[in-house]
Amino acid sequence: MKKVTIMTLLVFGLVIGFSASVVLAAEQTSQSKSEGKAEKGWNQALKTQVSLAEAKVSLLKARSEFWINKNKEASLRSLEETKMYLKEAYQSADQSTRARIAGLKSQMETVKNAVHKKSQQAGSKLTDLADRSEAALNTAIAETSARATAMKGETATRLALAQAKASAMKAKIALEIDKSPEKAKQALTEAEGYLAEAKTSASQWSGQGIAKLQTETREAKKALTDNAREAKRKLDALISHTGDQLKAYRTRVKESEKVNLLRKRYAQLEAQAAILKARLAAEKAETYEQAQLYLEEAKGWYTRTKSRAEDASRQQLVAMEKRIDEAGVVLKEKGKQARNKLSDLIIQAGELVKGE
């Protein structure tokens, strides 16, 4: 009878242990899926942002061709480009941005017809469409920022978990090598602090796992006072489970090469858009000051891109900054030479984007 009871308890223990492992594995799988989804969402938001920036530049080109160069055909070609970029943006956009893009797409045909007929309303319709595209782009930027914040949260959680694991290992060393339960307690107090940090920035799934680690840490601390052997066992389990929680995350949050290229392209498109706006503003003497501000904006975008660029790209960006400064000096003269200089700058900015 005694043997039967022991066997029953052993089997029961194995079943409980196996069930716990299955639950933990299921939670980690769900967590990985959730975090993978967050990263994918961030990439999609960034793609939308870049496509809308492309659309914004094409619309500014359409305005420039129609208003300055009086080139109806070139303006219509730029509007076709805009339509293509809006389609790309729609495919990767979130729901609220899609609603804005759908509005822009429905407005496109009206604008194209006005440009085709060279009607008096064409210029104002182009301006209105450009303003609306800017609003859609701002929505996409807000979405990207929100996604990036979520990714930063995951990074903070993983770092805090790694520190918690290190503290648990310090506790094990203090107990087994230094024979100092007091030092072990101090190390576990550190671990508690790091786990609290990890939980603050964690997702819902991660938070549940971290709460279990916090319970294990408290139990290990209590065992240090009552039973050294039990404390060792609990410390081993804590270190192992913290490691499992870390494995549920990706090895590191790394901006892929593709993401870096998207960011770089977006900055260069914004710079190109600012130069196009400067050229439009330079058409009238009363808006020359606004043109200068647009040039400063373009230079700012190139400066930001330069900090992440490789040597060859950095040299191109430095050259663009120099050309912008030169254009700014000429712009103060408020003459035809300034407008020509800006037109050349538009071409150079476009070539820089194409070269990526």
Distances (CA, A) of 216 to 29, 204, 223, 249, 348: 21, 19, 10, 20, 62
For the stretch 142-152, pLDDT in tens is: 777 776 666 66
For residue 4, the model assigns a pLDDT of 43
Selected residue with higher pLDDT from 161 and 261: 161
List the single range of 25-29, 53-57, 267-271, 316-320 with lowest mean pLDDT.
25-29
Cα distances (Å, whole numbers) of residue 121 to 3, 71, 128, 196, 252: 95, 16, 11, 61, 53
Non-local CB neighbours of 318 within 8 Å, separated by 6+ positions: 306
Ranges of each domain in the chain: 257-356
Q: List, for residues 223-252, the tens digit of each pLDDT value.
A: 988 888 898 999 999 998 888 887 766 544
Q: Region 239-266: what's the mean pLDDT? A: 71
* % the chain with pLDDT above 70: 81
Q: What's the CATH number for 257-356?
A: 1.20.120.660
pLDDT digits (tens, 9 = 90+) for 272-282: 888 998 888 88
Could you tell me which of 305, 295, 303 has the C-alpha nearest to residue 275?
295
Q: Could you read off the pLDDT of 66-82 as tens digits, one per residue?
A: 888 888 899 999 999 99
Single-letter code of the amino acid located at 313? S
- Nearest Cα residue to 147 out of 259, 305, 63: 259
